[in-house]
Amino acid sequence: MKQSGYPLDCPLPHPLPPTITMAHGGGGSLTQQLIDGLFARHFANPILAQQHDAAALSLDHGRIAITTDSFVVQPLFFPGGDIGSLAVYGTVNDLLMAGAEPRYLTAGFILEEGLPMETLERIVISMAGAAAASGVTIVAGDTKTVNRGHGDGVFINTTGIGLLQHGRTSLPSRIESGDAIVLSGDLGRHGMAVMAAREQLDFSTPLFSDAASLRAPVEALYAAGLGLHCMRDLTRGGLASALNELSDTTGLGCRIDEAAIGVSAPVRGACELLGLDPLYVANEGRFIAVLPAHEAAQAVAVLQTFECGQHAAVIGHVEPRAEAPVLLRNRIGTTRILDRLTGEQLPRIC
Amino acid sequence: MKQSGYPLDCPLPHPLPPTITMAHGGGGSLTQQLIDGLFARHFANPILAQQHDAAALSLDHGRIAITTDSFVVQPLFFPGGDIGSLAVYGTVNDLLMAGAEPRYLTAGFILEEGLPMETLERIVISMAGAAAASGVTIVAGDTKTVNRGHGDGVFINTTGIGLLQHGRTSLPSRIESGDAIVLSGDLGRHGMAVMAAREQLDFSTPLFSDAASLRAPVEALYAAGLGLHCMRDLTRGGLASALNELSDTTGLGCRIDEAAIGVSAPVRGACELLGLDPLYVANEGRFIAVLPAHEAAQAVAVLQTFECGQHAAVIGHVEPRAEAPVLLRNRIGTTRILDRLTGEQLPRIC
């Protein structure tokens, strides 16, 4: 992720002032300067250059996936990422989880009066890099400003459009009893990295977010010809929430084995210190794939070819609903209900 | 716009608590209750009911328009509308301005801790009504919460997708010298209604926002077979900003006649009192259509069949760029430059 200033050989069309003012959201010349000098500059592409009320674009065919996400993470920058890259990866990953090929993003910014322009530029550059890394184009944008004390630096909404390809349907309704549940990597890095940065906790081993595009591992699973029934990324509420949601949607049950779930020593240590359960901690680069049991080992092998998939494993299976939606066999062999989160564990994690 | 409570014959799946808490954005059971009890309830449709990371949908053909807008208006409710209906109409109108048929919306909510649930429900019901009135379906959504004092009640992002039909291309690049500029109605109602509500100004004649879907008048212009070159709605920065933007994009000039521009007596009075120029005040249900001069009278006649178009008029024309992008002949016959807004006139108007 680049966080450089302007290239010296490429002067700005307008000099940008050092901070965001309310007039940057007023629709006048300062709004236009911000668009020209910052957003259009870093997100440059022919569709965005249309400069009209809506961007026109052509799709190869007529079936698409659409998803939207707002990002309010604090702090704006954390080890391994920032709100800009997170806003791209989060939405790209949601499209991938639906079996879609991510193509286009929109970006809506809500900026607080007084935000340093340099902060905004770092975020925009990071977004541009994440979009390039994910193979998506930012085709439309919007900027609003709110008075000091009525926002929190930057909020970003990204809405994504992807193409649904024939034969690539990832839907909860395709999940069958007997399917295996494959986890793509170890858990809890994003949530604990943000928490550590926010609380300025100083761990002996620094914690880095796992935020990343899941495009390559998902493409590899499809390329291997695996019959994926459903995928879901493990963001807010973590693995436990994702399993509960899928169980509720399908009416089936999930049974998982804690010993199979990878959690790195630094994440485990931070969770123990803060009294958090890594199964509920947010990830931004991990997902589960639900697929026929006889293909599970191959899926794990494919995922393990990626650095982020070193700890990929079969963690459980789908079965007829027993006494609860999700059952967990813990490390000492006892089985307990893995409930939905009832309160909040880590607010403003994405 | 309905602002009723729950119908008595239709109990909620979960009782909703009286206020928004941080846990409503945590991805756990309270988030799910908010989705089930409020959003899915009022926005109900088969696509939203997929309950997956991204919504899958089919398009009739492969050329679409996409636009995004965040809404931060204060106050949340104002005479003639609220942030919810505004978030729908604003995005629907941007699609219409590009010549697209509005089809799908996404809705991203950023909620401040402590927001009364009843306030949120009024907004959601208003959005559902505005979506129905505009012929669009809300197909995906997202909810985030921010701590008290780090937001401002509700911010809403709506992203819209429309279908581009053959022969309906509305683009600045189609504007030609000699084209007429037709204004769809009188100016300034939205901006002055919001300003009056915010400052609790008490005018003898109440001011109502013009916020509305432009679908019917735009469809009527196309149905009349008019060769529309470009349309643009007159939101932030008003008519003056829209004309300057189009002039800058095309390299042509606009010459308009102030006497032809309708401004109601209450809006004119309020503007004079506050030292504002109605040509810069935001509208949320007014647009300009740029089309061949010989079709201008017919366009005005079509627009005047709508209540919002009573004051539709030919207000000027496009010509080769003279000394400035936009020239205005005022009521006493003097011509002056109609500049871009440099500071802010009315912040947080949309």
Judged by CB atoms closer than 8 Å, whether chains meet at B53 and A160 is answered as no
pLDDT at B336: 95
Query: Based on the number of CB atoms within 10 Å of its own CB, is A132 exposed (0-12), middle (13-18) or buried (19 or more)?
Result: exposed
Judged by CB atoms closer than 8 Å, whether chains meet at B341 and A53 is answered as no
Find the helix packing angle between A215-223 and A296-303, rounded to 10°: 140
Residue of B27, B70, B147 with shortest CB distance to A142? B70
Contact list, B23 vs chain A (CB under 8 Å): 342-344
Q: Which helix (H) or strand (E) holds B216?
A: helix B215-223
Judged by CB atoms closer than 8 Å, whether chains meet at B343 and A61 is answered as no
Using a CB–CB cutoff of 8 Å, tell me whether B45 touches chain A.
Answer: no
Phi and psi at A165, nearest 5°, equal -95, 150
From-to residues of CATH 3.90.650.10 in chain A:
172-337
Using a CB–CB cutoff of 8 Å, tell me whether A26 touches chain B.
Answer: yes
Q: How far apart are the CA of B96 and the nearest CA of chain A, in angstroms?
A: 9
Phi-psi region of A14 (alpha: psi -120 to 50; beta: other; left: phi over 0): beta
The token pair that represents B85 in the structure block:
């209906």
> In sequence order, what are the beta bridge partners of A287?
A233
Q: What angle do CA B50, B54, B59 make, to 5 degrees?
A: 85
Q: What is the DSSP letter of B326?
A: E
Q: Which helix (H) or strand (E) holds A117?
A: helix A117-134
pLDDT 10s digits, B100-116: 999 999 999 999 999 99
Judged by CB atoms closer than 8 Å, whether chains meet at B94 and A54 is answered as yes
C-alpha span between A145 and A153 (Å, rounded): 10
Q: A208 Cβ partners below 8 Å, 6+ apart? A: A79, A80, A189, A193
Best of B53, B71, B247, B280 to disrupt the A interface (most A CBs within 10 Å) is B53
Contact list, A160 vs chain B (CB under 8 Å): 54
Contact between A158 and A106 (Cβ < 8 Å): yes
Say if residue A75 is preceded by a cis peptide, omega within 30 of 0: yes
The answer to whether the complex's ipTM is over 0.95 is no
User: Which letter, b or e, does each residue of A172-204 get, where b requires 16 or more Cβ atoms within 10 Å of its Cβ?
Assistant: bebbeeebbbbbbbbbbbbbbbbbbbbeeeeee
Using a CB–CB cutoff of 8 Å, tell me whether A114 touches chain B.
Answer: no
Judged by CB atoms closer than 8 Å, whether chains meet at A108 and B249 is answered as no
Contact between B63 and B186 (Cβ < 8 Å): no
Averaged over B320-344, what is the pLDDT? 91
pLDDT at B3: 30
Residue of B27, B172, B282 with shortest CB distance to A51? B172
From-to residues of CATH 3.30.1330.10 in chain A:
48-164
Q: Which of A259, A258, A237, A257 minimizes the C-alpha distance to A248?
A: A237
Best of B157, B249, B350 to disrupt the A interface (most A CBs within 10 Å) is B157
Best of A36, A47, A59, A70 to disrupt the B interface (most B CBs within 10 Å) is A70
pLDDT at B165: 83
Using a CB–CB cutoff of 8 Å, tell me whether B118 touches chain A.
Answer: no
C-alpha span between B202 and B197 (Å, rounded): 9
Give the architecture-level CATH label for domain B172-337.
Alpha-Beta Complex (3.90)
> In sequence order, what are the beta bridge partners of A156?
A71, A109
pLDDT at B247: 95
Q: How far is CA B257 from the centre of its chain?
A: 25
Q: What share of chain A is helix, strand, coil (3-state, %, to 5)?
A: 35, 25, 40
pLDDT at A295: 98
Q: How far apart are the CA of B249 and the nearest CA of chain A, in angstroms?
A: 8
Averaged pLDDT of chain B: 91
Count CB-CB contacts under 10 A for residue B7: 7
Using a CB–CB cutoff of 8 Å, tell me whether B98 touches chain A.
Answer: yes
CA distances from B95 to A31, A157, B88, B102 (A): 21, 18, 11, 6
Q: How far apart are the CA of A22 and the nearest CA of chain B, in angstroms?
A: 7
The answer to whether residue B57 scores a pLDDT higher than 70 is: yes
The sign of the torsion formed by the CA atoms of A292, A294, A295, A299 equals positive
Contact between B69 and B114 (Cβ < 8 Å): no
pLDDT 10s digits, B2-45: 233 333 334 445 578 899 998 888 877 888 888 888 888 898 88
Using a CB–CB cutoff of 8 Å, tell me whether A78 touches chain B.
Answer: no
10-residue averages of pLDDT along chain A (350 residues): 33 73 85 88 85 78 88 97 98 96 95 95 95 95 94 97 88 96 98 92 88 98 97 95 94 97 95 93 98 98 96 98 94 94 80
Phi and psi at B125, nearest 5°, equal -65, -40
Using a CB–CB cutoff of 8 Å, tell me whether A251 touches chain B.
Answer: no
Closest Cα in chain A to B63: A58
Judged by CB atoms closer than 8 Å, whether chains meet at B341 and A26 is answered as yes
CA distances from A59 to A103, B65, B102, B149 (A): 9, 11, 17, 42
Judged by CB atoms closer than 8 Å, whether chains meet at A68 and B107 is answered as yes
pLDDT at A347: 83
> In sequence order, what are the beta bridge partners of A106?
A140, A159
> Which residue reads 């309950």 in tokens?
B51
Contact list, A238 vs chain B (CB under 8 Å): 27
Contact list, A150 vs chain B (CB under 8 Å): 151-152
Using a CB–CB cutoff of 8 Å, tell me whether A86 touches chain B.
Answer: no
CA distances from A242 to A112, A283, A334, B112 (A): 33, 11, 22, 25
A48-164 belongs to which homologous superfamily? PurM-like, N-terminal domain (3.30.1330.10)
The answer to whether residue B260 scores a pLDDT higher than 50 is: yes
Judged by CB atoms closer than 8 Å, whether chains meet at B344 and A23 is answered as yes
Q: How far apart are the CA of B180 and the nearest CA of chain A, in angstroms?
A: 19
Q: How far apart are the CA of B2 and the nearest CA of chain A, in angstroms?
A: 26
C-alpha span between A161 and B55 (Å, rounded): 10
Using a CB–CB cutoff of 8 Å, tell me whether B146 touches chain A.
Answer: yes
pLDDT at A9: 39
pTM for the model: 0.92
Residue of A142, A170, A347 with shortest CB distance to B25? A347
C-alpha span between B200 and B219 (Å, rounded): 37
Best of A51, A58, A68, A190 to disrupt the B interface (most B CBs within 10 Å) is A68
